[in-house]
Structure 1
Amino acid sequence: MPTSPPPSPPLRTECPPGACICERARLFDDPDADRRVLLLTREQEKRLIERIDAISTYAELQRIGQRLYEQLGVRLHIGPRANEVRTARGFAIELSPVPGLCRKTRQAVPAAIRRCLDRHPEIAYAVLDAHDLLGPR
């Protein structure tokens, strides 16, 4: 008796034409493309944002960044901007430009991290310290 292939995991639904810059079609044009980013459905994105909102330590923030890379192939970059950092807006927070990553996700994740940094200034200090801005000169 032939076995049926395992069910494929749900993929993120396509954005309306012209509404997004995700370049989703590039993933299907190249047979070797990394399509893991499409596994981040809207429901899972909401859970990710909730998880980011619940972060209370720098180690947790690093763990989220590592998990984003391991599971979706997306790198999270957090660091101070060229000018001085006075608030969470002074941090450059971005996701690596990966085909298939929705514009809304590229905005929602950094916004959630900024809210986290506003609520937990000790995490912001740890990010600065990781970039040697608070160390001796």
Structure 2
Amino acid sequence: MADFKIRKECPPQLCDCERERLLGGEQAELAILRLNLTEEKRLLAHIETIATYEQLKKLEKNLQKNLGVVLRIAPGSGEVRTVRGFQIQLLEQPGLCRKTRAAIPAAVRRCLARHPEIAFAILDEHDLLGRIGRSD
């Protein structure tokens, strides 16, 4: 069994995390279960303290490396006027609780609302601001 505290079981009717299926699987798959409630609260607090685009990119890489979780942040298909115009999501995977898939993007949105320069960097990364200065 695991030598770390794992996330408690969710009520079966309320969550689709497939925690029990993971417990019977390989050790590599168990990494996501390390995100217990205490660790999730620490992660959410950390996300809300992010102040630069580089820190946000580092968070994305660390989530992937340590937990196997893919965080995607991109401008929405329409016009982006506020942080609600960004598509922020955690890709579904076994062991990732439904509440966590909602809480982490919400924390990222709060971070972007506090630091609009990060939102502008995301827009620039997707070349939405780069086209303004060019004449094609």
| TM-score of the superposed pair, with normalisation by structure 2 | 0.90
For residue 12 of structure 1, the aligned residue among 4, 7, 14 is: 7
Match of 1:44 in 2: 39
In 2, are the aligned partners of 1:27 and 1:33 still within 8 Å (CA)? no
Match of 1:65 in 2: 60
1:56-108 deviation digits (Å, cap 9, x = unpaired): 00000011111101110001100011111110000000011110100111000
1:84 corresponds to 2:76: no
Which consecutive unaligned segments of at least 5 residues does structure 2 have?
none
SS at 2:29 equivalent: coil
Paired letter, 1:37: I
- 1:88-99 paired onto structure 2 within 5 Å: 88-99=83-94
Moved segments of 4+, more than 3 Å: 28-33
1:10-54 deviation digits (Å, cap 9, x = unpaired): 111110121112122332354476121001010000000000010
1:24 corresponds to 2:2: no
Count of aligned pairs: 132
1:133 corresponds to 2:90: no
Q: Distance in 2 between matches of 1:32 and 1:126?
A: 37
Q: Distance in 1 between matches of 2:28 and 2:98?
A: 19
| TM-score of the superposed pair, with normalisation by structure 1 | 0.90
Which consecutive unaligned segments of at least 5 residues does structure 1 have?
none
Match of 2:104 in 1: 109
